[in-house]
Amino acid sequence: MGSTLVFGGGGQLGQCLQHVAQQRNLTDIVFLPEEQANILEPAALRETFTRYQPSYIINCAAYTAVDKAEDEVDLARRVNRDGAENLARLCGEFGATLLHISTDFVFAGTGNQPLTETDEAAPISVYGLTKLEGEEVIPRHTSQYFILRTSWLYSEYAGNFVKTMLRFGREREEMRVIWDQLGTPTYAIDLAGCLLHVIQSGSTAYGLYHYSNEGVTSWYDFAAAIFELGGLSTRVVPIRTAEYPTKATRPAFSVMDKTKVKKTLGLTIPHWRESLKVCLSRLA
């Protein structure tokens, strides 16, 4: 088996992949420097594929500034759609398998039942739309792909909701947090483990999957758990989405059904509170 190339290796998920790869003593994973890893430069990408002859590509590179995307539509589309297409085209040519990260933001969030891979995607933000366009363009160039939609990603690396709440919790006596958006937090270390499991298992069960931790919560309850488990006495006040307006609209309900990924890949997924405890202990 050839090497695995990771694009976007400097971001949160990329750093988690490095952590898990080291734990598992995986030495054939290459975290490329930025000058070799710009997914918007097809010629440089081709040189990288030619040099490494990879068996797997993990694409963690994405435009994820959800609110800024409403004003930077072209840039978001170039990264989230065109970048994914560039990688998919080369994977098709070189016979490599693409592992691509997508998002719960492809859904409108108007329902109240866990969302499966066959439920209609109807994004309500530019970010969600461009990520869906990335999903749709991949199968045009390769049949060897795994697309994993995830949600509410956090870890001890980079900036994220957990680290922000811990910082505010030490500075403030009270936090106002939205309670009417429901979803599932995902510990990026767990997602990294899932991605590496796909590679280590040699699975050819290609297609679209949902991956988050188990359980359901609101941002309010998530924040309360962070303070409780983090030993902070910050009071959390629930507010409605309308009280905290943002440029991009968020899905009100984006709980994803993980039945397919668990059955097909033989995974056991931890509950979000258990993974949060692990993350907080590492941050401490």
| CA–CA dist 243, 259 (Å, integer) | 35
Q: Is the Cα torsion angle 155, 160, 161, 164 positive or negative in sign? A: positive
User: Radius of gyration over alpha carbons of the chain, in Å?
Assistant: 19
Query: Known catalytic residue: 127?
Result: yes
Helices (H), 24-68: 42-52
In the structure encoding, which two tokens stand for residue 230, read together? 């983090």
Residue that the structure tokens 């003593």 belong to: 25
* Tokens found for residue 246: 């943002």
The residue from 52, 56, 63, 127 that is catalytic is 127
Q: How far apart are CA 231 and CA 100, in angstroms?
A: 36
d(CA 88, CA 141): 6
Return the active site residues. 127
